[in-house]
Structure 1
Amino acid sequence: MVPPASASSSSLDLRLPPPTAPTVVVAMGGHAFIQPGERGTYEEHARNARAICAELITLVERGYNLVITHGNGPQVGELLQRSELTRDVLPALPLDMLVAQTEGSLGYLLQRSLLNEMRPRAIDRFVVTMITQVLVDAHDPAFGRPSKPVGPFFSREEAERARDQFGWVIGEDVGRGWRRRVPSPRPQRIIQRDMIREAAAAGNIVIAAGGGGIPVTMSADPAVDDYVGIEAVIDKDLTSGVLATDVNAELLVILTAVDGVYLDFGTPGQRRLGAVTMAECRRYIDDEQFPMGSMGPKVEAIYGFLQRGGRRGLITDAASLRDALDGLTGTHFVGKI
């Protein structure tokens, strides 16, 4: 656990949340650390982490207990590529180990940025990055049809060369390029859920379930009740929805590249949704308005959270977060209506 933003509190406004403060879970994608046109250097990651934490701090200022999750698609894809390019000189690492590495590295950047944002505001809270395991089913059909894009975009020719050289499964993101695809099983249970909930309820800021969490299964040997890592990347939005339920969150916020959810997105008739009831959300899902490769898992995560008793969901971009919290933009999902 990282020390509070200031070691001395005698002359500071501690601004700790009251015991009954609501909890918010905020999920952001791995691309939040890499802006368009950037290479993904350490300096770019650090700068972008600081920028997004400057927006997230508004939730702390408004009295929320804060839990942050993040994606890792570009970062774990790069680690996979490094591992494959050096396989002749260094031992290769399995995908679950690479997910754990990105939990640590990206969690560190967010943790440091949050502490630096809190210091000038005289906010004393602990910030902790939780290395998080997520239980999945070893027999999930996803293992037979890899679908989760990771890593950088390639031309078709580059992707096909990598497929032939490394045995990748590749797929096209229409209009954007080709990427590697890996299995993406559904999250069943978050192993560290009690620790995350208790740390957040105590007023600490918790960074957890990075990259959707480290995928683990139970040992196939019934005589050995062990967790076993498995090669996959879990969708971070679906994990965030489960986590929001587990920590008794009032609000689930999913930050993405656009200011809200749009019907008929990418067409001349596209229109942003404002407030959406569960019945409307279900109808839009059934009408296949939200592609599984982009907005689909985000809407599904919020819908599941509301089904399990969550009160509110919000999808917007980081720059619009403050206005969205005031109801001026974003797409708001409400339950029990």
Structure 2
Amino acid sequence: MRIVLALGGNALLARGQALTAENQRENIQKAAASIAAIANDHEVVIVHGNGPQVGLLMEQNSAYQEYSPETTPYPMDVLGSQTCGMVGYMLQQELRNIDANLSVATLVTQTEVSKDDPAFANPTKFVGPVYTEESAKEIMAVSDKEFKADGQYFRRVVPSPMPKAIIEQQQIETLLTSGNVVIACGGGGVPVCREQGRMEGVECVIDKDLTAELLAETINADLFVILTDGSIYRNYGKEDQAEMKVATPEGLSHFNFPAGSMGPKVDAVCQFVNSGRGNAAIGSLFDLDRILTNEAGTLVKAGEGIEYY
């Protein structure tokens, strides 16, 4: 089975956890163990998030400019490509540490977007570390940065336009069909657009779940899985919350999910199922093997209604 796995940036670095290489390495070791357990039996492409990672690089750039004003901060497309190498390197290494027989390849991937996308007028994508509401308001008062609530914390938000095309799609398929576990489209891919026949970077972050869905469609995946904190819930966080075992795009259309977190994930899995190529699922990284057998997570398939655990 050909599977596209979308691995959340917060699954690689837990919410509120210090943004250290050691913490990230420890979490990636756990992620690699879950993925390696299925990699020998399936064709696997991993699309990882980069919200915390690219946000940290943005903060480090700003701090360095205070020391060296003539050193302008690197644009977000360049920072995004840096996270592709950083996270891809760790994933690639830890997968082979678990199973030396695995062939693993990381590909820095460009994703095309449109500069006319309305997302540039309404930033929603969370990046960087968490702040208290007071700290976030202090930063907004003296800069053009925008922050929004993310649970009990506040985080910076940036534009997140829709992905239009994956530039290195053919290279991904070549690596996949030659027996590699492929790590691609990191952070949703490096955002680029076409300007007078040339590719140029764009100041934004693409939602990795939407890019992963586009990739799943274009390489004809059998299953598209988003690995995050857990399943889809009805009324998450409320007294009557209920975990969904099986859902359909029709059933999910009756709920409103937060735009900055579960919303894009639900949109992505529904879009893949509606494409007619296969099923999709949302669940915990550490339940991956059980997600494939519908013993954990939420399976999304064609039809009507919702089944709860």
Question: In the alignment, which residue of structure 2 is the partner of 1:15?
Answer: none
Shift of 1:155: 1.3
Distance 1:169 1:143 in 2: 13
Deviations 1:52-94 (A, max 9, x none): 1101112213x10110011111111111111111114133100
Distance 2:145 2:16 in 1: 25
Distance 2:161 2:15 in 1: 28
Correspondence for 1:197 among 173, 184, 191: 173
Distance 2:123 2:292 in 1: 36
Shift of 1:284: 2.1
Distance 1:140 1:38 in 2: 33
> Does structure 2 conserve the Cα–Cα contact (< 8 Å) formed by 1:218 and 1:225?
yes
Shift of 1:181: 1.0
Question: In the alignment, which residue of structure 2 is the partner of 1:116?
Answer: 97
Shift of 1:37: 5.2
- Determine whether 1:28 maps to 2:7: yes
In structure 2, give the amino acid aligned to 1:315.
I
Correspondence for 1:213 among 189, 197, 203: 189
Correspondence for 1:148 among 117, 125, 140: 125
Correspondence for 2:245 among 274, 277, 280: 274
> Does structure 1 conserve the Cα–Cα contact (< 8 Å) formed by 2:124 and 2:259?
no
Correspondence for 1:335 among 294, 297, 302: 302
- Between the two proteins, the alignment pairs up a number of residues equal to 301
Distance 1:288 1:274 in 2: 16
Distance 1:318 1:163 in 2: 34
Question: In the alignment, which residue of structure 2 is the partner of 1:324?
Answer: 291
- Determine whether 1:188 maps to 2:170: no
Distance 1:269 1:156 in 2: 28
> Does structure 2 conserve the Cα–Cα contact (< 8 Å) formed by 1:153 and 1:176?
no
Identity %: 37
Deviations 1:16-42 (A, max 9, x none): xxxxxx210101111122235531211
Question: In the alignment, which residue of structure 2 is the partner of 1:99?
Answer: 80
In structure 1, give the amino acid aligned to 2:268.
A
TM-score (norm 1): 0.85
In structure 1, give the amino acid aligned to 2:235.
D
Shift of 1:325: 1.9
Question: In the alignment, which residue of structure 1 is the partner of 2:223?
Answer: 251
Shift of 1:191: 0.5
Shift of 1:244: 0.6
Matching of residues 291-310 of structure 1 within 5 Å: 291-310=258-277
SS of 1:50's partner is helix
Q: CA RMSD in A?
A: 1.5
Question: In the alignment, which residue of structure 2 is the partner of 1:18?
Answer: none
Distance 1:28 1:101 in 2: 17
Matching of residues 69-88 of structure 1 within 5 Å: 69-88=47-66
- Listed as ranges, the gaps of 5+ residues in structure 1 are 1-21
Shift of 1:132: 0.6
TM-score (norm 2): 0.93
Shift of 1:211: 0.6
Deviations 1:205-241 (A, max 9, x none): 110011111111111xxxx300110100000100000
Distance 1:192 1:311 in 2: 23
Correspondence for 2:38 among 18, 35, 59: 59
- Listed as ranges, the gaps of 5+ residues in structure 2 are 305-309
Question: In the alignment, which residue of structure 2 is the partner of 1:228?
Answer: 200
